[in-house]
Amino acid sequence: MSDSLLTFAAHGLTGAGLGAIAIYLLVVTQLTILAVTLYLHRSQAHRGVDFHPVIAHFFRFWSWLTTAMVTKQWVAIHRKHHAKCETEEDPHSPVVYGIRKVFWQGVELYRVASRDSASIEKYGRGTPDDWIERHLYSRYPELGPTLMALISIALFGVGGMAVWAIQMAWIPLWAAGIVNGLGHWWGYRNFESSDTSTNLAPWGVWIGGEELHNNHHAFPSSAKFALRRFEFDLGWAVIRGLERLHLARVLRVAPSLDQRPNVSLPDTETLRALLTHRFHAMTDYYRAVILPTLREEAAHAGDNIKAVPLRLRRALADGGRWLDGEGRERLAALVEKRPTLQTVCEFRARLAALMEQRGPESALGGLQQWVREAEQSGIRVLQAYAARLKGYAVGAH
């Protein structure tokens, strides 16, 4: 009897070796990632995709079992993050709290946000409220990980506690720390969105596609996060597979930006496309107008563009929105010394303001005036940009 107990304590019911345990860990942790990115994030928070009730409930059960996260709370906190991004009300912004706090104490920030009952009610609408949610998942969230601990011990013996600990740390590290922290601090940007979001890597595999965080902030309701040819989104690949099995229904993906030839002045289609693809338009402006102008003026002055600090070069994309007081002063001094750069930065600010106007008629009139003045500016790159802008059109999904 004692030998049997010792054998069970050492190896559990499976007697699995390290290789088998590693494979098990890979499977269960990726299932947890998929439950978060597919169900909590893309389906519940943003309504980008619907899943068959069996698949949806499996994801909900698995989230409860392996994370203790309540669907309504997670959805509300994430929606509030988008609504109040990079402000004092953002539940987990590195701009507000600092990268170290968000990276290392992201779980604590989540817990603080989950206690704000008013926000949970406001932003958590439309999430599951059935019997099992009220009487089990929401009422006893800690029971899930406790049950998972017992399962791990049963499968692998005492060593199962180490397996369980890794499972419990997976979402706090990769979602709360890496995505919420580094995803607003380091990486590349496809779109000059109105926040600091970044893509951590073009291959969204390890965290189910959540690595493509800037793409998501540009088109929050899109079920597909990969938006450029070289990008890959594992979560989208799973969605497409489930769709072929009639277990998922895609509701929204980001529309493409098309180009119409021979448009003399911006029209209502141009304006609609500009508003839909505002971040794309501003990114294009930065890369095709501002940076070439900066290079040209630096060359005329006998300087190298790299003499301008990278932080200031990047700040030209949004007018220095995320710089501190000293940084804004340095940016203003940089622009003031370069007349053409100052002109194109003023055009950028005017274009951004146009996209914030409420009335479509005044916005269209302002856009047409902006294009006329850009064409008359004598600045080649600005004229080329205005010519492209006139032909903007919203493409198919």
Residues 377 and 319 in one domain: yes
Residues 226 and 343 in one domain: no
Residues 273 and 312 in one domain: yes
Taking the C-alpha atoms of residue 95 and residue 369, their distance in angstroms, rounded to an integer, is 36
Residues 93 and 218 in one domain: yes
Domain end position, chosen among 250, 281, 300: 250
Provide the number of structural domains found in the chain.
2
What's the pLDDT tens digit per position in 89-135? 999 999 999 999 999 999 999 999 999 999 999 999 999 999 999 99
Residues 218 and 352 in one domain: no
Is the predicted pLDDT of residue 291 greater than 70, yes or no?
Answer: yes
Please indicate, yes or no, whether the overall pTM of this predicted structure exceeds 0.75: yes
Task: Name residues whose C-beta falls within 8 Å of residue 391's C-beta, 6 or more positions apart in sequence.
Answer: 259, 260, 261, 262, 263, 270
| Angle (CA) 28 31 37, round 5° | 145
pLDDT at res. 283: 95
Task: Name residues whose C-beta falls within 8 Å of residue 249's C-beta, 6 or more positions apart in sequence.
Answer: 49, 50, 51, 243
| Domain span at 93 | 2-250
**Quick check: 222 and 120 in contact, CB under 8 A?**
no
pLDDT at res. 71: 97
What's the pLDDT tens digit per position in 164-200? 999 999 999 999 999 999 999 999 999 999 999 999 9
Taking CA atoms, 103 is separated from 72, 84, 175, 210, 258, in Å, by 23, 19, 10, 16, 39
Residues 222 and 266 in one domain: no
Residues 314 and 202 in one domain: no
Residues 8 and 140 in one domain: yes
Residues 89 and 161 in one domain: yes
The DSSP-derived string for 185-203 is: TSSB-SS--SS---BS-SE
Domain end position, chosen among 226, 250, 274: 250
**Quick check: 217 and 226 in contact, CB under 8 A?**
no
Is the predicted pLDDT of residue 306 greater than 90, yes or no?
Answer: no
Residues 387 and 340 in one domain: yes
- Segment (H or E) for 233: strand 232-233
Taking the C-alpha atoms of residue 28 and residue 50, their distance in angstroms, rounded to an integer, is 23
Residues 239 and 360 in one domain: no
| Angle (CA) 326 331 332, round 5° | 100
Domain end position, chosen among 185, 215, 250: 250
Residues 215 and 357 in one domain: no
pLDDT at res. 59: 98
- Segment (H or E) for 350: helix 339-354
pLDDT at res. 240: 98
